[in-house]
């Protein structure tokens, strides 16, 4: 079986960003002052725990960003030298990992962990036909008598899952303690004591508590998801858990790509305007005032409507439906970037105005360094902390924004799973009788976890990189032991 | 002051011209009027004659930017760009592109009243609630109340407004049956329909705003005049309510003022979820129906409101802080 890797636009950018982040981490080894600032982020318990949760979400998003198309088995009559044909459906590594759950497709809605469908149908029985809730095709089929066995089976599996989670946690805790013991050159027992009393440089106790919560939450889900639909199924019978996991990638793409798309405008124009001044500055100020005076949603809606027509007129740009949907997400990010750079540009311009008058810039000017070089080497590196803070702060806002845009009808393609799309569907489902609440709850749980983690991490980054914001953090006074 | 307002007005007109050029370029360059006609007439087979009729009915049958068929200044004025821009700058929105051909100006006037009924009480209540909550947190700063209050804020701002709406509608309208799920009635009856959207909108923004205001108050509280006020023996409540609140008003006005355009434009999401026929719902309908004339007019109106409210904010500064001079 051959594969053909499909490089979607957003995949390329996501992986490039990963490469850039790794490159930055590598460079940190030679820059102790920047490393110290990052260590400050990690020393914040909330930021460290949120960082772990975010890292898990990133892992899921990246798994979902390796796409390929399977080769179709050659037909009997095919000539030996004919080119290989590939499936039209694009698959990702995440779908491969969840292939069992993707394959467990029911007919329609079913409640979480259910064994029977939500709506009654005509069922054939030996005594004749009657209206009843039919058994699901995949959920809980291993039970011969669901009425009697269901509760015990679910409890037993959850307990096994929780035990598995505990085992993983124990391994992690042992590993952390061993690492700590080696680093601080104490016995393993003393290292445990330090961990429990929270006497470590990094807030490892909070980190381990987060690991414990995650293990206890994920264990039962993993144990149950092979035979049940943990979050139920949607109208077309697809597993809601799979959809929620796949929505993470969309959220990440929109959250990061859109800010990335603002950077050329915001940093480039902001530094140019602030450093050069004069009519260039006036023109740039005029440009961003015009952009920021238009209500954002309207401008985005207008652009997205344009893009829609453009895509309809140029079907030659993509081979498969997945590529079309992806191009739409990519263009949506570009639009969000092009319409949203005004705020950061204003910040960067203000900072540049301040930097321009500082001694090191004056010295560079006196040495005869060219203006372009001063801007690139002396000013841009010194506004990068603003870029970083804005990026992490915008990330969660953009994820929330995607939901609103999708609701308005100018968001991602309906075939792309996204939190906005799930909420949008849930709106009609919640007004049904009986209430279909599980899509809504799943979207809520995943989205709040992601956005909350992003917000907490962003606060930590802001505290460490922006000297002005540190006072504001509420802290309980520690009682001396 | 007079010359300031005059200059402000001039720059405002300049910005509006820019906004108009931007939207015009966006709407007419990517999509030609022919495409719009095809989209709006609908159906599989659209003849050129139908398209031409649609275009001439709506005045799109001229060249876009430059009319070679005319002579003199008419080359510039007898174009779609000129005619549309001049009418917009004179606040004549014209008619919508759809088959119903609504008078946009009339729609805007009637719907803005409805939007105001929802947004104005919301704006004022929001200000009171956010300031009250953040002052409470500041009063109990560095205590458990402050800590958990901020945690609550962070959790609340991590929840999408759509969740508040769906849960609120489900709980109060479907389960408890206290208020209607959606709809609108003029007059005093409107209260029944507006109570839930106002409350939910308030809740969905409280986290963000209260946390922001709290930070502003804390910045102010570190200043010397606060220590002086305490040294005089004033109680903490009076220090906060009389001294700190007044001095923190400038950043609060700046951040609350950015919502002013939406007081008139209404909220897209809340109006369409609750079936309130305001301007926000109007825009959503226009986007869904791909009615470009309406979207263009609303973009223009939004920009106009933004400029006016920014000027208002700047003038308010002089009233709040006598040291501010507008020049």
Determine, for residues A309 and B302 on separate chains, whether the beta-carbon distance falls below 8 Å.
no
Q: Which residues of B touch A404 (CB under 8 A)?
A: 160-162, 268-269
Answer for the pair B104, B293: CB distance below 8 angstroms, yes or no: yes
Q: Give the pLDDT of residue A270.
A: 93
Nearest Cα residue to B175 out of A281, A435, A26: A435
d(CA B237, CA A245): 49
Nearest Cα residue to A284 out of A272, A295, A275: A272
- Of chain A residues 407-436, which have a CB less than 8 A from chain B? 407-410, 419, 423, 426-427, 430-431, 435
Collect all residues with Cβ–Cβ distance below 8 Å to B263 and sequence separation of at least 6: B115, B116, B119, B120, B123
B166 touches chain A (CB under 8 A): yes
B290 touches chain A (CB under 8 A): yes
Answer for the pair B51, B39: CB distance below 8 angstroms, yes or no: no
- Of chain B residues 259-288, which have a CB less than 8 A from chain A? 261-262, 265, 268-269, 273, 283-284, 287-288
Answer for the pair A277, A292: CB distance below 8 angstroms, yes or no: no
d(CA A298, CA A231): 35
A451 touches chain B (CB under 8 A): yes
Residue A128, strand partner residues: A125
DSSP structure string for A332-397: HHHHHHHHS-HHHHHHHHHHHHHHHTSHHHHHHHHTT--HHHIIIIIIHHHHHHHHHHHHHHHHHH
* Cross-chain CB nearest to A305 (options B144, B222, B290): B290
Q: Is B251 exposed, middle or buried (0-12, 13-18, 19+ CB in 10 A)?
A: middle
Q: Give the pLDDT of residue B43.
A: 64
The low-confidence residues of chain B, meaning pLDDT below 50, are: none
B255 touches chain A (CB under 8 A): no
Q: How far is CA A186 from the centre of its chain?
A: 39
Q: How far is CA B39 from the centre of its chain?
A: 29
Q: Is B63 exposed, middle or buried (0-12, 13-18, 19+ CB in 10 A)?
A: middle
d(CA A89, CA B166): 34
* Cross-chain CB nearest to B158 (options A287, A451, A474): A451
Collect all residues with Cβ–Cβ distance below 8 Å to A309 and sequence separation of at least 6: B30, B31, B35, B39
Q: Give the pLDDT of residue A480.
A: 43
CB count within 10 Å of CB A205 equals 17
Give exposure, A102-140, as e/b (b: 16+ Cβ within 10 Å).
bebebeebbbbbbbbbbeeeeeeeeeeeeeeebbbebbb
For B157, name the nearest residue in chain A, comparing CA atoms only: A452
Q: Give the pLDDT of residue A319.
A: 73
d(CA A43, CA A461): 11
Q: Give the pLDDT of residue A308.
A: 79
d(CA A39, CA B305): 45
DSSP 8-class letter at A185 = T
CB count within 10 Å of CB B144 equals 10
Instruction: Give how far Cα A402 sits from Cα of A83, A123, B9, B55, B238, Å.
Output: 41, 42, 35, 35, 43
d(CA B81, CA B93): 14
Residue A6, strand partner residues: A67
Best A286, A294, A396, A411 member to test B by mutation, with max B CBs in 10 Å, is A294
Torsion B97-B98-B101-B106 (CA) sign: negative
d(CA A197, CA A481): 10
DSSP 8-class letter at A316 = G
Q: Which residues of A touch B39 (CB under 8 A)?
A: 309
- Widest Cα–Cα separation across chain B: 84
A455 touches chain B (CB under 8 A): yes
Determine, for residues A305 and B295 on separate chains, whether the beta-carbon distance falls below 8 Å.
yes
For tokens 């510039």, what's the residue?
B76
CB count within 10 Å of CB B190 equals 16
The low-confidence residues of chain A, meaning pLDDT below 50, are: 479-481
Angle between helix axes A438-465 and B161-168 (nearest 10 degrees) is 150
* Cross-chain CB nearest to A427 (options B147, B166, B292): B166
Instruction: Give how far Cα B83 sits from Cα of A14, B31, B62, Å.
Output: 45, 18, 10
Helix (H, G, I), strand (E, B) or coil at A58: helix
Answer for the pair A173, A216: CB distance below 8 angstroms, yes or no: no
DSSP 8-class letter at B180 = -
Nearest Cα residue to A20 out of A253, A332, A260: A260
Asked if this assembly's ipTM is beyond 0.90, the reply is no
A343 touches chain B (CB under 8 A): no
The tokens for A249 are 């990638």
Q: Give the pLDDT of residue A481.
A: 41
Condensed to tens digits (0 to 9), the pLDDT of residues B263-314 reads: 887 788 888 888 888 888 888 888 877 777 888 888 888 888 888 888 888 8
Q: What is the 3-state secondary structure (H, E, C) of A427-470?
A: HHHCCCCCCCCHHHHHHHHHHHHHHHHHHHHHHHHHHHHCHHHH
Determine, for residues A309 and B39 on separate chains, whether the beta-carbon distance falls below 8 Å.
yes
* Cross-chain CB nearest to B30 (options A310, A396, A459): A310
The tokens for B311 are 């000027």
CB count within 10 Å of CB A64 equals 25
Residue A121, strand partner residues: A132
d(CA B192, CA B267): 18
Helix (H, G, I), strand (E, B) or coil at A134: coil
Q: Which residues of A touch B19 (CB under 8 A)?
A: 290, 293-294
Q: Which residues of B touch A297 (CB under 8 A)?
A: 268
Answer for the pair B210, B134: CB distance below 8 angstroms, yes or no: yes
Condensed to tens digits (0 to 9), the pLDDT of residues A237-277 reads: 888 898 899 999 999 999 999 988 999 899 999 999 999 98
Q: Give the pLDDT of residue A139.
A: 78
């Amino acid at each position: 079986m051959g594969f053909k890797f499909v490089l979607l636009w957003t995949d390329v950018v996501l992986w490039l960003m990963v490469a850039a982040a790794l490159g930055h981490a590598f460079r940190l080894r030679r820059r102790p002052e920047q490393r110290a600032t990052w260590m400050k982020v990690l020393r914040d318990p909330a930021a460290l725990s949120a960082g772990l949760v975010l890292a898990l979400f990133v892992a899921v998003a990246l798994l979902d960003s390796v796409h390929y198309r399977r080769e179709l088995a050659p037909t009997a009559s095919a000539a030996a030298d004919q080119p290989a044909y590939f499936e039209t459906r694009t698959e990702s590594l995440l779908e491969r990992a969840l292939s069992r759950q993707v394959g467990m497709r029911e007919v329609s809605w079913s409640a979480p962990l259910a064994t029977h469908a939500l709506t009654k149908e005509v069922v054939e029985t030996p005594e004749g036909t009657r209206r009843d809730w039919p058994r699901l095709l995949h959920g809980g089929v291993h039970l011969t008598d669901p009425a009697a066995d269901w509760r015990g089976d679910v409890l037993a599996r959850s307990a096994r899952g929780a035990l598995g989670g505990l085992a993983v946690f124990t391994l992690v805790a042992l590993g952390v303690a061993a690492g700590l013991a080696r680093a601080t050159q104490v016995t393993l027992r003393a290292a445990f004591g330090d961990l429990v009393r929270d006497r470590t440089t990094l807030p490892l106790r909070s980190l381990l508590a987060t690991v414990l919560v995650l293990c206890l939450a994920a264990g039962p889900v993993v144990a149950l998801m092979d035979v049940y639909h943990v979050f139920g199924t949607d109208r077309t019978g697809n597993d809601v858990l799979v959809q929620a996991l796949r929505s993470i990638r969309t959220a990440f793409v929109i959250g990061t790509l859109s800010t990335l798309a603002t950077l050329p405008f915001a940093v480039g124009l902001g530094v140019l305007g602030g450093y050069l001044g004069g009519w260039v500055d006036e023109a740039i100020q005029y440009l961003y005032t015009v952009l920021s005076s238009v209500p954002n949603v309207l401008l985005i809606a207008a652009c997205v409507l344009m893009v829609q027509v453009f895509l309809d007129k140029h079907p030659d740009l993509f081979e498969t439906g997945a590529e079309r949907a992806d191009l739409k997400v990519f263009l949506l990010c570009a639009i969000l970037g092009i319409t949203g750079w005004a705020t950061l540009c204003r910040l960067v311009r203000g900072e540049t105005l301040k930097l321009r008058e500082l001694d090191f810039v004056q010295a560079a000017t006196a040495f005869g360094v060219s203006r372009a070089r001063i801007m690139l080497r002396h000013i841009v590196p010194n506004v990068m902390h603003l870029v970083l803070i804005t990026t992490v702060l915008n990330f969660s806002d953009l994820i929330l924004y995607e939901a609103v845009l999708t609701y308005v009808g100018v968001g991602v393609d309906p075939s792309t799973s996204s939190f906005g799309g799930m909420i949008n569907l849930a709106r009609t489902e919640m007004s049904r009788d009986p209430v279909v609440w599980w899509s809504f709850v799943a979207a809520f749980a995943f989205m709040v976890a992601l956005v909350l983690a992003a917000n907490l991490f962003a606060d930590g980054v802001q505290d460490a990189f922006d000297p002005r914001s540190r006072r504001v953090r509420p802290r309980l006074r520690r009682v001396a032991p | 002051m007079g010359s300031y307002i005059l200059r402000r007005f001039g720059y405002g007109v300049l910005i509006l011209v820019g906004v108009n050029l931007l939207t015009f370029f966006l709407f007419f360059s990517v999509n030609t009027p022919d495409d719009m006609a095809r989209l709006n007439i609908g159906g599989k087979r659209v003849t050129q004659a139908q398209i031409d009729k649609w275009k001439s009915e709506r005045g799109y049958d001229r060249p876009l930017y430059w009319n070679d068929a005319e002579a003199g200044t008419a080359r510039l004025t007898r174009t779609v760009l000129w005619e549309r821009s001049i009418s917009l700058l004179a606040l004549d929105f014209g008619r919508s592109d759809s088959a119903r051909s609504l008078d946009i100006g009339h729609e805007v006037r009637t719907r803005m009243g409805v939007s105001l009924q929802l947004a104005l009480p919301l704006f004022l209540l929001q200000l009171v609630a956010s300031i009250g909550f953040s002052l409470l947190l500041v009063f109990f700063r560095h205590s458990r109340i402050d800590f958990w209050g901020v945690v609550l804020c962070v959790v609340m701002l991590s929840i999408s407004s759509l969740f508040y709406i769906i849960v609120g509608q489900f709980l109060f309208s479907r389960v408890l049956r206290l208020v209607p799920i959606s709809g609108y009635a003029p007059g005093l009856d409107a209260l029944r329909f507006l109570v839930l959207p106002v409350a939910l909108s308030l809740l969905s923004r409280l986290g963000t705003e209260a946390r922001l205001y709290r930070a502003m108050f804390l910045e102010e509280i570190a200043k010397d005049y606060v220590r002086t006020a305490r040294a005089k023996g004033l109680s903490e409540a009076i220090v906060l309510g009389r001294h700190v609140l007044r001095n923190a008003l400038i950043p609060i006005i700046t951040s609350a003022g950015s919502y002013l355009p939406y007081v008139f434009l209404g909220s897209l999401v809340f109006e369409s979820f609750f079936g309130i026929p305001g301007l926000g719902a109007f825009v959503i309908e226009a986007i869904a129906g791909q009615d470009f004339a309406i979207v263009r007019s609303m973009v223009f109106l939004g920009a106009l409101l933004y400029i006016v409210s920014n000027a208002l904010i700047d003038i308010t500064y002089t009233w709040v802080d006598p040291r501010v001079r507008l020049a």
